Amino acid sequence: ELGKFRHYMQKEIFEQPQALAQTLELIAGGAGITPQHFGARAGEVFDGVRRVLVLACGTSYHAGLVARYWIESIAKLPVTVEIASEYRYRESVPDPDTLVVVISQSGETADTLAALKHAKALGMQRTLAICNVPESAIVRETALRFITRAGPEIGVASTKAFTTQLAAFALLTLALAKINGRLSAEDEERRLAALRHLPVAVQKVLELEPEIEQWAQRFAGKEHALFLGRGSHWPIAMEGALKLKEISYIHAEAYAAGELKHGPLALVDKDMPVIAVSPADELLEKLKSNLQEVRARGGELYVFADAGSEIPESEGVHILHMPEHYGMLSPVLHVIPLQLLSYHAALVKGTDVDKPRNLAKSVTVE
C-alpha cells in the first residue's frame, strides 16, 4: 500500500496535490462560489453572521489561525480562534450571530466535540464542521458541514488533512465575502483561478525534497530549533514547530518574528537553528531585519524564500528557493517544506515516523 514511499507520512505529504484537487472539485471547471458548498441550509445560516469563532486542537487549530487572516482581510468579519480545551471550560460571552466553525481531521476529538456542544448550549446554533470523516461524531452535531477529501490519513502527524482544511477555509472566506458584498466578480474569478491551480503549485514545491533532505541532515543533531513567521505565516511557523517536535522529538518553538526581541532572542546562539518562513509579502522587510538580529547573535538561519523574497546566501544563512509566491494561498505552499523537513529529520534520527511515542491518531479522551 505504501508503493514507492517509506512511510505513510511521506506518502501523505506527496498525496497533497491530489487531496487538494479532490477537495476543490466543487469549483472545478467554471463553477463559482456558493454557500451551498457548506450544506443546503448554508444561505440561511450565514445570513446575518457578524463574527466567526473557530474551535479546534493541534494542527487543526493552526488551520484556523491561518483562516483568521483570510476571513478578516477578505470577508471583513471579526474572527476568534480558540483551542477547544480552553473554550469549553472558560466563561465566555456568547453571541448568537457568531458562526461557530469546528475543525477536525478525525471528527472524533473529544475536546473539539465538547467545545461545540458547549457553544450550542450557550445558544450558538450557527455551526459548521470542517472535517475529513463524513460519518464522524462532530459532523453529526453541526448545522452545516464541509467534508475535506484528503482520503484516510494514517500517519499520526497531520499533513494532507491540514492543507485540505486550508482549502476549505479559502472557500469559506470567499463564500462569506460574497454574502457580505465584499467579493467583486473579478476578484472571485481571480481567486478561484489561484485555487484551481493550487495542486500544480504544490506539486512544484514537492520537487524540492532532495534539497530539504540535505538540510535535515544538519538539523537532526540539534536539540532545539526556533521557527519564525509573520502574518498568516506565523501559524505556518507554529505548524512547522509542532511537526518537528512530534516526529523527531527535537524541541521546537514558534514565534511571531516581531516578538523575537521580547524574549526568545536570548536563546539564540550557534547551536540554535532558526527557521524563517519568508514569503515575498508586505511583511518581508520587517522579517529581514529580524533575521539580521538572529545573525548578529551567531544563529544559523534556514530561510524558506519564494519568488521575490530572495535573501542573499551567506555564511550561516541557508536559503531554499520556492518557485512562486502565491499571494493569499501562500501558507498552503510554505507548510510543505516544513513537513518534509521534519519528516527527513526524523528519518535521520531513526524515530518511528508514523507512530511517534506517546501520541494517538485520534484523541477521543480529554
The catalytic residue positions are: 361
- Binding to ligand F6R by residue 356, rule CB under 6 A? no
Question: Could you say which of 57, 128, 198, 257 contacts ligand F6R (CB under 6 A)?
Answer: 57
- Binding to ligand F6R by residue 166, rule CB under 6 A? no
Please state, in angstroms and rounded to a whole number, the distance separating the CA atoms of residues 340 and 11: 11
Of 136 and 309, which CB lies nearer to ligand F6R in the complex structure? 136
Burial level of 179, CB count in 10 A (0-12/13-18/19+)? buried
Q: How far is the CB of 107 from ligand F6R (least distance, A)?
A: 7
Binding mask 139-158 for ligand F6R (x = CB under 6 A): ------------------xx
- Binding to ligand F6R by residue 248, rule CB under 6 A? no
Question: Could you say which of 10, 16, 59, 351 contacts ligand F6R (CB under 6 A)?
Answer: 59
Nearest residue by C-beta to ligand F6R? 58
Which grid cell is 206? 514537492
Question: Which pairing describes strands 317-321 and 144-147: parallel, antiparallel, or unpaired?
Answer: unpaired
- Compute the C-alpha angle 14/28/333, nearest 5°: 35
Q: How far is the CB of 339 from ligand F6R (least distance, A)?
A: 10
By CB under 6 A, the count of residues binding ligand F6R is 15
Question: Could you say which of 15, 246, 300, 306 contacts ligand F6R (CB under 6 A)?
Answer: 246
- Non-local (6+) Cβ contacts of 128 within 8 A are 38, 39, 45, 99, 100, 101, 102, 142, 143, 144, 145, 146, 172
Residue in the block written with cell 457548506: 38
Of 246 and 306, which CB lies nearer to ligand F6R in the complex structure? 246
Of 75 and 157, which CB lies nearer to ligand F6R in the complex structure? 157
Binding mask 94-113 for ligand F6R (x = CB under 6 A): ----------xxx--x--x-
Question: Could you say which of 206, 220, 317, 363 contacts ligand F6R (CB under 6 A)?
Answer: 363
Which grid cell is 296? 548578529
Using the rule CB under 6 A, give the single segment among 33-41, 55-63, 250-258, 344-352 that binds ligand F6R: 55-63
Q: Provide the β-strand partners of residue 128.
A: 101, 144
Q: Provide the β-strand partners of residue 300.
A: none
Task: Answer for the pair 147, 352: CB distance below 8 angstroms, yes or no.
Answer: no
Q: Which amino acid is at 143?
A: A
Of 103 and 287, which CB lies nearer to ligand F6R in the complex structure? 103
Q: Provide the β-strand partners of residue 224.
A: 251
Residues that bind ligand F6R (CB under 6 A): 57-60, 104-106, 109, 112, 157-158, 242, 246, 362-363
